[in-house]
Each structure stands twice: as structure tokens, then as C-alpha cells.
């Protein structure tokens, strides 16, 4: 048994290996690894005695789950109407340029993941960037550098 299987085993055991707890099991695995490793999904299917396609179907249906590793710093740029008309596209372009990745990707060092979202519900503060659940309103391309530098140690 690998260390990965051992950790996944303990998560599955917390839910008594109940197939009805699949979503909760996947949430806990993602919390542990910051994404859902393919080998973990296969192992969950085996342990719960359910088809792999069912496990992968749930993992790909919900946007909250990711099959790709996420960075330590997760940056979400709101592209909703209010943020868009206030310049969120330029903010996104600057983040892409500074991080040298496109939206939906993670930096090679695993530090940053950059994503777009349809709305964060803070329209009056637009454009809004959410970095690790911290909201940064009235963002501009010029403010991007200070946002990124504030997280460096």
C-alpha cells in the first residue's frame, strides 16, 4: 500500500466506505492534496465498489473539484458584467503576463493557479480579484504587482 492509498484509506474509513458519501470523500481528498489525483479516484472506486466512471463523473461534474494540481496561491479574477466593464480583462492580462501562464493554468513552481470566475458577488468593488479567499477590489493592472509581491516571503 502506498502512502497515498493509506491516506485515502483513512478518509474513506471516516465515511465507513459508504458509496453515498462519495462527494464528501472527494472533498476531503481534494483538501488533502489540493486536487484529485487520478490514482486516488481509481482507488476510491475500488474501495467503494462502484464504477470508475461514476467517480470520475462526479469529479468532473462539479466545478469545485480539480483533476489538475492547484497552486499554493489561488487567484480568481471576476469576469462578471460589472467587473468586465470596469477593466477586469486588463487585470487578467497583466496577471497572465506577470505569472507567465494563461487563465486555468498553474505556474511551473506550483506557487500560483490563475482562474476566471463568472461573478464573486462584490460588484460594487469591481474589478475584483480573489486571492486565497481574500477579496481585492478596484483592481487595476498597476495593482497586480503589489498583490503578487505581498505574498512573497
Domain CATH code at residue 15? 1.10.10
Beta pairing, strands 112-117 & 73-78: parallel
Residues 30 and 98 in one domain: no
The answer as to whether 68 is a domain residue is no
Rounded CA gap, 113 and 150, in Å? 16
User: The pTM is what?
Assistant: 0.75
pLDDT at 64: 84
Rounded CA gap, 23 and 145, in Å? 37
pLDDT at 63: 81
The answer as to whether 7 is a domain residue is yes
Residues 77 and 145 in one domain: yes
pLDDT at 150: 79
Residues 41 and 80 in one domain: no
Q: Which residues contact 103 (CB under 8 A, 6 or more apart)?
A: 77, 92, 96, 114, 115, 116
pLDDT at 153: 39
Contact 25, 45 (CB under 8 A): no
Question: Per-residue confidence of the chain (153 residues) as pLDDT tens digits?
Answer: 555 678 999 999 999 999 999 999 999 999 999 899 999 999 999 999 999 999 999 999 988 899 988 898 999 999 999 999 999 999 999 999 999 999 999 999 999 999 999 999 999 999 999 998 899 999 999 999 999 987 653
DSSP 151: T
Amino acid at each position: 500500500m502506498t502512502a497515498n492509498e493509506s491516506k485515502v484509506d483513512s478518509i474513506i474509513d471516516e465515511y465507513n466506505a459508504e458509496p453515498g458519501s462519495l462527494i464528501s470523500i472527494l472533498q476531503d481528498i481534494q483538501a488533502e492534496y489540493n486536487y484529485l489525483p487520478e490514482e486516488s479516484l481509481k482507488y476510491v472506486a475500488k474501495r467503494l465498489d462502484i464504477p470508475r466512471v461514476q467517480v470520475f463523473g462526479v469529479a468532473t461534474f462539479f466545478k469545485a473539484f480539480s483533476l489538475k494540481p492547484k497552486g499554493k496561491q489561488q487567484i480568481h479574477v471576476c469576469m462578471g458584467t460589472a467587473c468586465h466593464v470596469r477593466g477586469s480583462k486588463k487585470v487578467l492580462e497583466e496577471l497572465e503576463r506577470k505569472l507567465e501562464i494563461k487563465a486555468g493554468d498553474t505556474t511551473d513552481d506550483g506557487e500560483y493557479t490563475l482562474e476566471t470566475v463568472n461573478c464573486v458577488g462584490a460588484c460594487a468593488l469591481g474589478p475584483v480579484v480573489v486571492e486565497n479567499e481574500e477579496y481585492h477590489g478596484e483592481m487595476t493592472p498597476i495593482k497586480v504587482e503589489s498583490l503578487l509581491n505581498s505574498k512573497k516571503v
